[in-house]
Amino acid sequence: MMLHIKNGVVIDPKNNVNAEKMDVFVKDGKIVDESDVKREDCKVIDASNKLVVAGGVDMHAHIAGSKINTGREMRPEEMRVVRNIAGKFRAAIGRVLLTSPAIGYEYSKMGYTTAFEAAQPPVGALHTHEELDAIPLVDKGALPVFGNWHLVFKYVAEKDIEKLKTFIAWALERTKGFGVKVVNPGGVEAWMYGGNCKSLDDSVPGFDVTPREIITSLIQATEELKLNHSVHLHCNNLGTPGNYQTTLETMKLAGKFSNDKRQVLHVTHVQFNSYAGSSWRDVGSGAAEIAKYVNSVDNITIDMGQPIFGHATAMTGDAPFQFTLHKLTGARWSNKDSEIEGGAGIVPLIYLPKNPIHALQWAIGLELGLLIDSDKVVLSTDYPNGGPFTEYPYIMAMLMSKKMREKELERVSPYVQKATNLAAIDNEKTLFELIHMTRSLPSRVLGLDNKGHLGIGADADIAIYDLNPENVDTSNDFETVYKTFKKAVYTIKGGEIVVKDGELVKDLWGTTYWVDATGKVSMEAIDADLDEYFANYYSLERSNYGVEEAWLRNATKLIMG
Amino acid sequence: MIVLKPKVDFAISVEAEITPELATMSVEEISKFQVYYGKEKVELGELFEISKEGDDAKLVLDGDFGKVKWVGARMEDGEIVVKGDIGDHCGAYMKGGKITVEGDAKDWLGAEMKGGEITVKGNARNYMGSAYWGDATGMSGGKITVEGNVFNYIGEKMSGGEMVIKGNAGDFIGTEMKGGTITIHGNCGFVGGDMKDGVIKVKGNFEVVPGFKRVEDGFEGDVNSGGKGKIIQL
């Protein structure tokens, strides 16, 4: 099908288009030049006075795999909100923890067209991909976790970067993974003995390695392999007062690496790692220090991990943190073990505006979003850890309006005034910046050249909103901004109209991206080690490990070569 | 007063959140009220004969409503009289008013109710006045009276209000109970597991879970969860 999106007001940060009236043409799922289509064959979409942007890209959410599924099992109370009755579309339910179809539908209604699962237990890769295959309307990918894998420890301890590179390539191929996720490196292994690695130099029990060495080696290996995406790091010491210093130290590890195309380290849901103070009694914000450092370097990006007041579910590969959270809140807790690769935990959570700690977390997320250069900070709620992704429009509106922040500050705990600087921040991001933070920036961070922009050759993933950037005053019209971004007038996925006026009109399946770097290494180098580890430590045989490409509904292989 | 009579024997369950508020509408409006018959949305008038006598906030359900769920859910005022049996979730989350069931009630009667009164002349089943799965608090106010017997998991996480069962009850009565009173005139099984507060009175035989200690007038516990719940033999 060919489309002619007529008279829209386009914001396309990657191509330096800021609120220009122009037409967009689509053919065979791609954005094409006007000369490539026959106008009379095009379906015309009148976008007069409407904002035309690329489809949203969520580079960090937990949307598939054993964690969210355990969350669904242990939270039946989350499953009582009916979003769609089975009929033309699939049944979709969930309050914040959504079922797989609901995840695809809700992203799409909001104008998002790509979402990445940010922590795939490698041994649970098949489950993760089965669930990704059940999410309609968005393109997907999954980041397997490496930071507590015994084989990673082994090569890091042996300082054998070549073998580590080979191992990463092998693991990405076997798990159909997209990049290198690292969660509390070493700490989850220590948790197997009831401990944790709270600083970069804590030794991992049973292995002669430290978090510092693990992170540095994984960055080096990832950069030498030139993977699409950099190391994607959930820092040590998450959720602890005073942890912003660990975060800063960790960020400095990226100092000696650089890459022309993208960051060399993406630090994720930084809000949870930006606490000052020495205990929960005097906890404060370390956001300003984090922002200062991130702004001063050009090889690090972050995402916010913004909490949204209301229901959430904490689920991370950081098993020891989840246990701490369970002890702190008294809420239900589930622990997951993924053999010699790490683990995870799940704890239900509710963010209350009057709770000083929750209000502080909320304020720190916003501080990071406001203080950090919009070319370095991606919007995220770390769904469902900070809350629902369906509230991204809330974050967008908040970052663009001081007036809205003042209004919201009135309803939160006054502790925020004491422990953070949020009230004094006058910065208001522009619509152009927010479009970048939700589209072109996450695409660049992931290394997906064909996503997040409207240039010729890009995927025809387009969102149209009922908002004319020329007439809207984002500082004052925050309610309009919020409502507008909740419901796209059109969502176009791969050239097909899937949402119209915020309602689903067509069901289709996106693709799952995975990265194949096996051509850059020689697999024989680690063959004997793999055989040994599968024979001695895994509960399954090497020949049964992993996911074949043919098993995925619709896979796209990105070959590194 | 509104009277509803089923037009057919329902093959599958009907989910009809109907309350005495219907009495404020005309018969025509009531017959257009949307309910689910299985997964299909249908109008009340397709399933029931509807008649109206006067404007008082009263709903009379005349016939077998055993497959009709959620009757009186979230009601705040008025009266419902069920001449036969009533389906699951009757009076769930209700805040006020009165429900009388002349036949039997099914599961989840008065679940998470906050106020009002429910009387059942026959029997009720499981989860009466309980919290829905995953929720923190069950019945927190009001009164449920059952003339007959009930099944298991009665008053789970109950935090207030009163429950009277004239017949026998099953196992796991008042589990994780936080307040309120349950009175059972007949026999029952295990009582009070993980109880934190509140009172359970039993006239007949019952079994105490380990974790209750003997006190002057009965048992206190559950000590495993630092509870101060009371079980009293009448």
CB pair distance less than 8 Å for A85 and B39? yes
A350 forms beta bridges with A311
At A291, is the secondary structure helix, strand, or coil?
A: helix
| Digit-coded pLDDT (tens) for A501-513 | 999 999 999 999 9
Rounded distance between C-alpha atoms, residue A227 and residue A434, angstroms = 27
Q: Across residues A86-114, what is the average pLDDT?
A: 96
| Digit-coded pLDDT (tens) for A396-442 | 999 999 999 999 999 999 999 999 999 999 999 999 999 999 999 99
Closest in A75, A85, A86 to B134, CB measured: A75
A79 phi and psi angles, rounded to 5 deg? -100, 20
Q: Across residues B29-49, what is the average pLDDT?
A: 94
| Digit-coded pLDDT (tens) for B58-92 | 999 999 999 999 999 999 999 999 999 999 999 99
Within 8 A of B133 by CB-CB distance, chain A residues are 76-77
Mutation to test the B interface, candidates A80, A89, A311, most B Cβ within 10 Å: A80
pLDDT above 90 covers a percentage of chain A that reads: 97
Model confidence band, residue A102 (pLDDT cutoffs 50, 70, 90): very high
Residue A77 sits at the chain B interface (C-beta within 8 Å):
yes
CB pair distance less than 8 Å for A76 and B134? yes
Residue A76 sits at the chain B interface (C-beta within 8 Å):
yes
Within 8 A of A77 by CB-CB distance, chain B residues are 132-135
- Identify whether the C-beta of residue A378 lies closer than 8 Å to the C-beta of residue A442: yes
CB pair distance less than 8 Å for A86 and B39? yes
Q: Given strand A555-559, what is the order of strands in its sheet?
A: A56-61, A112-120, A139-144, A512-516, A555-559
Nearest residue of chain A to residue B131 (CA atoms): A77
Find out if CATH 3.20.20.140 is the number for domain A56-77+85-446.
Answer: yes
pLDDT at A1: 80
Q: Work out the minimum CA distance from A327 to partner chain B, whole angstroms.
A: 15
Q: Across residues A129-137, what is the average pLDDT?
A: 97
CB pair distance less than 8 Å for A78 and B39? no
Q: Across residues A328-344, what is the average pLDDT?
A: 92
Mutation to test the B interface, candidates A70, A74, A85, most B Cβ within 10 Å: A85
Using CB atoms within 10 Å of the CB of residue A156, give its burial: 0 to 12 exposed, 13 to 18 middle, 19+ buried.
buried
Q: Work out the minimum CA distance from A330 to partner chain B, whole angstroms.
A: 12
Whose structure tokens read 């067209």? A113
Taking any CB pair shorter than 8 Å as contact, residues of chain B touching chain A are 39, 132-135
Per-residue pLDDT at A325 exceeds 80: yes
Per-residue pLDDT at A249 exceeds 90: yes
Rounded distance between C-alpha atoms, residue A12 and residue B75, angstroms = 52
- Among residues B33, B21, B175, the alpha carbon closest in space to that of B95 is found at B21
Rounded distance between C-alpha atoms, residue B137 and residue B134, angstroms = 9
pLDDT at A561: 67
Question: Which range, A160-169, A320-329, B219-228, is most confident?
Answer: A160-169
Mutation to test the A interface, candidates B42, B70, B133, B157, most A Cβ within 10 Å: B133
DSSP per-residue codes, A321-380: HHHHHHHHH----EEEE-GGG-EEEEEEEEE-TTSHHHHHHHHHHHHHHHHS-TTTEE--
At B221, is the secondary structure helix, strand, or coil?
A: strand
pTM for the full model? 0.93
Rounded distance between C-alpha atoms, residue A295 and residue A560, angstroms = 30
CB pair distance less than 8 Å for A75 and B132? no
- Identify whether the C-beta of residue A268 lies closer than 8 Å to the C-beta of residue A118: yes
| Digit-coded pLDDT (tens) for A370-399 | 999 999 999 999 999 999 999 999 999 999
pLDDT at B54: 86
Size of interface A-B (CB pairs under 8 A): 13
- Residue A328's contacts (CB-CB under 8 Å, 6 or more residues apart) are none
| Average pLDDT of every residue of chain A | 96
Within 8 A of A85 by CB-CB distance, chain B residues are 39
Nearest residue of chain A to residue B136 (CA atoms): A77
The helix-helix angle for A161-175 and A211-225 (nearest 10°) equals 70
| Average pLDDT of every residue of chain B | 95
- Among residues A44, A57, A83, the alpha carbon closest in space to that of A502 is found at A83
CB pair distance less than 8 Å for B134 and A85? no
Nearest residue of chain B to residue A76 (CA atoms): B134
Rounded distance between C-alpha atoms, residue B134 and residue B132, angstroms = 6
pLDDT at A357: 96
CB pair distance less than 8 Å for B134 and A78? yes
pLDDT at A341: 95
pLDDT at A560: 84
Per-residue pLDDT at A117 exceeds 70: yes
| Helix or strand run (H / E) with residue A415 | helix A415-419
Chain-centroid distance of CA B148 in Å reads 13
User: CB atoms < 10 A from the CB of B39, how many?
Assistant: 11
Per-residue pLDDT at A85 exceeds 90: no
Nearest residue of chain A to residue B135 (CA atoms): A77
- Among residues A299, A308, A243, the alpha carbon closest in space to that of A270 is found at A243
Residue A86 sits at the chain B interface (C-beta within 8 Å):
yes
Q: Across residues A330-343, what is the average pLDDT?
A: 93
CB pair distance less than 8 Å for A76 and B132? yes
pLDDT above 90 covers a percentage of chain B that reads: 94
Per-residue pLDDT at A445 exceeds 70: yes
Q: Across residues A142-168, what is the average pLDDT?
A: 97
Per-residue pLDDT at A466 exceeds 70: yes
pLDDT at A52: 98
- Identify whether the C-beta of residue A513 lies closer than 8 Å to the C-beta of residue A558: yes
CB pair distance less than 8 Å for A77 and B39? no
Model confidence band, residue B104 (pLDDT cutoffs 50, 70, 90): very high
Q: Across residues A317-329, what is the average pLDDT?
A: 92
| Digit-coded pLDDT (tens) for A2-28 | 999 999 999 999 999 999 999 999 999
Rounded distance between C-alpha atoms, residue A349 and residue A361, angstroms = 13
Rounded distance between C-alpha atoms, residue A201 and residue B192, angstroms = 50
Six-digit token pair at A94?
A: 């969930």
